[in-house]
Amino acid sequence: MKYISLLGASGSIGQQTADVVRQHPDQFKIVAFSVGKNVELARKYISEFRPSLVCVQTKEDSQTLQSEFVGTGIYFTYGDEGLIETAVFDKADILVNAVIGSVGLFPTLQAIKAKKDIALANKETLVTAGHLVIEEARKASVKLLPVDSEHSAIFQALQGEKEKNMERLIITASGGSFRDRTRAELVGVTVDQALNHPNWSMGAKITIDSASMMNKGLEVIEAHWLFNLPYEKIDVLLHKESIIHSMVEFHDSSVIAQLGTPDMRVPIQYALTYPDRLPLSTSHRLNLAEIGKLHFAEMDFKRFPCLQFAYEAGKIGGTMPTVLNAANEVAVAEFLKGKITFLEIETYIEQALNRHTPIDNPDLTTIQEVDISTRKFIQTLLK
């Protein structure tokens, strides 16, 4: 039995993690979980999974739940401190980190210190402070298991291989909601149009990131840290069907790919069962004969400047990726609220990057300061 602590249980990845657990009640148990504002789903999970610890975003919500579940012995907590308590919960063997944004950084670092293996969906953590997370995980000898489908694909392709034989990574990209539009056709696009992803059903922020191609940029930085390759050896390839989830090319020119229908439960479960596998009932199994053709195209960096920003920020390193991530988080949130246009997401990020003087090898405090000052800077642009 593997005991799981699940951060972001009410999100897209969180709910699919719950589904994986449901399919294997004799293998997995959720002993602790967090939601943000979705208290209704927290109630359902409490009844279903009988956890020992539950974290919500506000004190009021935690007190409400506490009074409803009095006598159950469940410990209720809240806020950023609560997220850390959930992440380091002593009965858990593994943390599934599926919160959105850099709010996931501190819980991840604390869980590493508490010697928990980590199934990491929260890519913003690696973008904003990859060097610290990787270094701490190495020191503590904990496993960082990728949940992001591209990184899971690469991780699967590397099983039995030596890292030194890797030549390059080829990360595939669906192109997102606006892949068939020119830049001129992006003027005036709506939030609803941006949220309409052709292949994947995901949370709002990552769906917008997919439309702007920032998601792929964040994934390039994530891959740099997880697989220890320079940016020159990480390529992005447009592949609109999302069937090949990514590939590794080796020195001898052999390329290993991982394929499957777009279903996040596969990489989630693999992170939980690694190095083993378990059956998984999915609505749709891969049928290549039915699909017939797969398409590939070179990435156009002029069409998708956010990807260019991410490569540049990654190559400069230091605090530059922290700025990229923080600016993107705020800009996307403002777009989702209808306060800025889709194309302004790019211009805001570009301005934040241009004004920043990068600091090399930043510690946690520096990262936090740069994150906060970048968010404030974007707010000043809004006024």
Residues that constitute the known binding site for Mn(2+):
148, 150, 219
258 forms beta bridges with 246
Considering the complex, what minimum distance in angstroms separates the CB of residue 149 from Mg ion?
5
Residue list, annotated binding site? 11-13, 36-38, 122-124, 148-150, 174, 197, 203, 210, 215-216, 219
Candidates 124, 136, 222, 371: give the one binding ligand NDP (CB under 6 A): 124
Query: Using CA atoms, how far apart are residues 322 and 324, in angstroms rounded to an integer?
Result: 5
Contact status: 136 vs Mg ion (CB under 5 A): no
Give yes or no for residue 12 binding ligand NDP (CB under 6 A).
yes
- Options 53, 92, 95, 103; binder of ligand NDP; rule CB under 6 A: 103
Sheet containing 144-146: order of strands: 75-78, 53-56, 28-34, 2-7, 94-97, 117-120, 144-146
Binding positions for ligand NDP, 74-93, rule CB under 6 A: 83
What whole-number distance in Å separates Cα of residue 320 and Cα of residue 361?
Answer: 11
Query: What are the backbone angles phi and psi of residue 174, rounded to the nearest 5°?
Result: -70, -30
For residue 195, give every residue at least 6 positions away whose Cβ sits within 8 Å of its Cβ, in sequence order, or none. 177, 204, 207, 208
Can residue 203 be called a binding residue for ligand NDP (CB under 6 A)?
yes
Q: How far is the CB of 246 from Mg ion (least distance, A)?
A: 9
Binding residues for ligand NDP, total number by CB under 6 A: 30
Burial of 373 (0-12, 13-18, 19+ CB in 10 A): middle
Q: Which residue among 85, 124, 136, 148 contacts Mg ion (CB under 5 A)?
A: 148
Q: Residue 238 and residue 195: Cα distance in Å, rounded?
A: 19
Exactly one of 3, 75, 200, 301 binds ligand NDP (CB under 6 A); that residue is 200
Query: Contact between 264 and ligand NDP (CB under 6 A)?
Result: yes
Q: For every residue of 183-235, which 3-state class applies, written as one string?
A: CHHHCCCCHHHHCCCCCCCCCHHHHHHHHHCHHHHHHHHHHHHHHCCCHHHEE
Binding residues for 1-deoxy-D-xylulose 5-phosphate: 123, 149-150, 174, 197, 210, 215-216, 219
Binding residues for ligand NDP, rule: CB under 6 A, are 8-14, 34-38, 57, 83, 98-100, 103, 121-124, 148, 200, 202-206, 264
